[in-house]
Amino acid sequence: MKKFRADQARMHLIMMLALTFTTGIIDAVGYLGLDRVFTANMTGNVVILGMAIAQADGLPIVGPIVALVAFMIGAALGGALLRSARAGWSGRSTIAFSVTGTVLLGLGVSCFVVLPVEGSPWAFTITGLLGAAMGLQAAAARKLAVADVTTVVVTSTIVGLASESKLAGGTGKNFPRRVLAVLMILVGAGVGALLLQVHIGIGMGTAGGLTLLVALAGHLLRKRRKELEAEAAEAAAAEEARVASTPEGTRA
């Protein structure tokens, strides 16, 4: 069981890194294909909104507001869903990530039917749904609590990477995962930009498909954990019954 817990922690890290990769794809699609809007990185939206209010360089106002509000709604729904869930991956984690993946995949397919035009109601609808889906994902990832991998932002990861590095006199704790988290969102953004040159829906669909695979992997891992816990409980009960049936156990 101890080995399984170590393997489970490793798998959770891999799954969260995969979602960080999808975040890079979605933000590239949003920024380049939906009029300079981030649908996962809310820090970027706040900065863009502040500059837009100051009327700098014709930056958008409506899009960042839609993304911010939708992201908060999605995160609130995720928080409510996962409030009473057990620590680690739960059945509700599977639901949250499955909903996120389904929304992303559905939006990707819908874009092949109706192509979003920047500034149009349909584009704002996509922005809002993407923001809500990523807010839900962020809340689910937060509940899972994989250190240094939030899936939607890497600023704090970079701070930890630098401030706790051996160069700064630290221990270099979690150095590999921090580097990987930054690389995943970087590579994801590059892949998203490339996919956008083919069609805006491909990036969303790719991110959605990967998110659904993560949800499936988490579900199977949770199922295996429950099986092992049941086996351990049965073994403990059998051992207790065996001890109780011995003469020594009977006298005790």
For residue 188, give the amino acid letter: G
In this prediction, residue 130 carries a pLDDT of 97
In this prediction, residue 247 carries a pLDDT of 65
Given 1.10.1060, 2.60.120, 1.20.1250, 1.10.287, which CATH number is that of 2-147+189-240? Answer: 1.20.1250
pLDDT at 186 over 60: yes
> Higher confidence at residue 247 or residue 225?
225
pLDDT grade for 218, boundaries at 50, 70 and 90: very high
In this prediction, residue 1 carries a pLDDT of 61
pLDDT at 23 over 90: yes
- Output the CA torsion sign for 126, 132, 134, 136: negative
115 torsion bin: left (phi>0), alpha (psi -120 to 50), beta (else): beta
The alpha-helical segments, DSSP class H, found in 145-199 are 155-163, 175-196
Q: What is the dihedral of CA 92, 97, 98, 99, to 10 degrees?
A: 90
* For the chain, domain boundaries: 2-147+189-240
Mean pLDDT for 58-82 is 94
| Arithmetic mean of pLDDT over the chain | 90
For residue 195, give the amino acid letter: L
- Digit-coded pLDDT (tens) for 90-148: 999 999 999 999 999 999 999 999 999 988 999 999 999 999 999 999 999 999 888 88
pLDDT grade for 241, boundaries at 50, 70 and 90: confident
Q: Is 234 exposed, middle or buried (0-12, 13-18, 19+ CB in 10 A)?
A: exposed
Structure tokens at 48: 């863009």
